[in-house]
Structure 1
Amino acid sequence: MKNTDRLKVALMASRNPKSQEVLQSLWMKLKEKKFILTPKNPDVVISIGGDGMLLSAFHKYEKLIDHVRFVGIHTGHLGFYTDYRDFEVDKLVDNLALDTGARVSYPILNVKVKLMDGRVLTMRALNEATVKRLSKTMVADVFINGVAFERFRGDGISVSTPTGSTAYNKSLGGAVLHPTIEALQIAEVASLNNRVYRTLGSSIVVPKKDKIVIEPKHDDRYSISIDNKNYTYDKIQQIDYQIDQKKIHFVASPSHTSFWNRVKDAFIGEVE
C-alpha cells in the first residue's frame, strides 16, 4: 500500500560536504514524490552521515520512539545503523514510496542516575552507557539482579545494548550480540586485578529481566557517557541499568542489511 500522501519525513545530515550533497538531492527527490518534509512529529527520520549521526537522530526524537522509524544513509564507510550508501538515494525513495509501515525493532538501554541530593535522572542509550571517575581510580560495587557481584576497581564500567556490542564494548573485549537478543553486556574499562583486588575480568551478558546496579564508593566527580553525549555529576549514589520498555524502530525494506553482513563488512571484509 502506497502512503506517500501522508508519510512525514525528517532529514538530518552531518556537516561534511558529501552528506550535505546527499541531503540536497534527497530533499528534492522526496518533494517530487509528494512526501511531507517536516522535523515535527515525523513518521520516518532519515539520518545522513555515519553511525554518530544516527545516534544524534535517535536522541533528538527519542520522545517519539513509539511512533518514529529510522533510516540511515552512510556517506563514508559501511555503518552498523545504515542500510543505504550515498549512491542509493533513488533506491531509498522508491522503497519509501512502497512503504507499508513495516519495521525492524531493537532493544535500547534505560539508565537511571540517582544522586545523593535525591534527584533521579533518567536517560536512554542506543549503544552504551559508561561511567568513569574523573580524578582517580574508580571503586564501585556491582549488583546483578540484587546479588552483590563484585567490587570493581579500575578506570570505569560500560554497559551496552546488543547493537552497541560492536562499538565501545567490542574494543573492551566484549562479545558481539545479535540485536534481537534482549540482553545487556557489562564490560570493564582497565580493571585492577592482582592478589589484593579481584574482578571477574571478562564481559558479562545479563538477561532482560535482570537489573544492573553500580554504586560508586567515593563522593567525587564522575563522567557518564550516554552514546555520543557526555555528562558530569558529583556525588552519585547509584546507577541503575535495564532493558528499556521501548525499542528503536527501523524501516523494514528490501535494503535492510543483515546484522551479520554488517559485522563481516566492518571487521573482516571479503572472505576468500
Structure 2
Amino acid sequence: MKVAIFANDGKQSQNVKQRLEKRFTERHFVLDDKEPDVVISIGGDGTLLSAFHHYENRLDKIRFVGVHTGHLGFYTDWRDEEVDDLVISLESDNGQSVSYPLLEVCVKYADCPKRVHYLALNESTLKRISSTMTTDVYLGGELFERFRGDGLCVSTPTGSTAYNKSLGGAVVHPNLEVLQIAEISSINNRVFRTLSSPMIVAPNDWITFRPMRGSDFVLTVDSDSYHNRDIVEIQYKISKKRIHFAKYRHMHFWQRVQEAFIGTENED
C-alpha cells in the first residue's frame, strides 16, 4: 500500500506525522506523496479540505483517512493517540470505502472564453464587497428569483453541516445527492422579495447565478477565494466525482452529526 501523510504545521500534528512515518517504515508501507492509495490527513477539517484539494485530480484512485489533533473534526475519525491502531487497520485493509457527493462549480468570466471549473467538498459562496449583491437565480434553467443581499451559499449534503448550518440551512444526509441554497442576509421588503428560506434542490435541477455585472464579487470554493474578476454566470451541480474515505471505523452520518454538535454526555 502507498500512503501519503498530509499534516498541518501545528506542533502536535507534526509529531503525529513523525510517529506515523516511523510506524509505516517499520511495517514496510510505501510513503508516496505523488500517487498514494491512501491519504492520511492530520489536523482538523481544514487540513482535510486542503488535502482534498491537493489530490482532487486523483479522487478516483485514493481514499482518505482523517486524524484529528484538536477538537473533534467532522471528517476525522481517529484521535492522535490511536496511531498504532490506525496502522494495524491499514495492514488489514480490504479496500472498503464510504463516499460522499461533491459540488461542481462552473464559472463563466467576462475576460475568459472558456468556463473555469472548480470542485467543492463543503460549499461555494458568492458575495459582493462594496455594496448589495444583486443576482438572478435560476433553477433547472428557469428564472426563480432576483436575489438582493450580502450573498448566497450553495452546499453539498456533507457541507450542509458547515457554513450552511450557521446560515439556518438544513442538515442533509449525504445519501441524498442534492444541493442546498442558503441566503446570506437577504433584503426583503415591499419592493424586494426573495423566498427567504433555504432550498433543497434536486440534482437534475442545476443552479445558476447570473449576477449584475461588476468585478467586486468574491467567489469562494471551500476555503479558497477568488477576487476581482467580472463574473457573467456560475452553474452549480452535483459532480460525477466523489470523495472516498477508508471504512475502517467511519462513523455513520447521524452519529457524526450528533458527536460534532450535541455530544455524547447527557445533561440533567
Match of 2:28 in 1: 34
Per-residue deviation, 1:264: 1.1
2:207 to 212, 217, 236: 212
1:145 is the counterpart of 2:140: yes
Structure 1, unmatched stretches of 5+, are: 1-6
Question: Are residue 59 (structure 1) and residue 50 (structure 2) matched?
Answer: no
**Normalization by structure 2: what TM-score?**
0.97
State the secondary structure of the residue aligned to 1:88.
helix
CA distance in 2, matches of 1:163, 1:214: 22
What is the deviation of 1:268? 1.1
The 2-side partners of 1:119 and 1:223 are apart by: 19
Amino acid at match of 2:69: T
CA distance in 2, matches of 1:233, 1:67: 35
* Residue among 151, 163, 171 paired with 2:166: 171
CA distance in 2, matches of 1:162, 1:145: 19
Q: State which of 11, 14, 25 in structure 2 corresponds to 1:17.
A: 11
How much is the aligned-residue C-alpha RMSD, in angstroms?
A: 1.0
Superposition pairs of residues 122-271 of structure 1, within 5 angstroms: 122-253=117-248, 255-271=249-265
The answer (yes or no) to whether the contact 1:8–1:43 under 8 Å persists in 2 is yes
Deviation of 1:119 after TM superposition, in Å, equals: 3.5
Residue correspondence of structure 1 range 88-103 to structure 2 within 5 A: 88-103=82-97
Quick check: 2:213–2:232 contact (8 Å CA) kept in 1? no
**Pairs within 5 Å for 1:96-111:** 96-111=90-105
Amino acid at match of 1:252: K
Q: What code does the residue aligned with 1:188 have?
A: E
Q: CA deviation at 1:271?
A: 5.0
Distance 1:41 1:220 in 2: 38
Listed one character per residue, the Cα deviations across residues 73-107 of structure 1 (whole Å, up to 9, x for unaligned) are: 00011111111011111111111001011111100
Q: Distance in 1 between matches of 2:234 and 2:149?
A: 17
Which residue does the alignment assign to 1:69? Answer: 63
* Structure 1 residue ranges, 4+ long, deviating more than 3 angstroms after superposition: none
Instruction: Tell me the residue number matched to 2:73.
Output: 79
Aligned-residue offset at 1:230:
1.0
Identity among equivalent positions (%) equals 55
Q: State the TM-score, normalizing by the size of structure 1.
A: 0.95
On the 8 A contact 1:108/1:243 being kept in 2, the answer is: yes
Q: Secondary structure at the match of 2:160?
A: helix
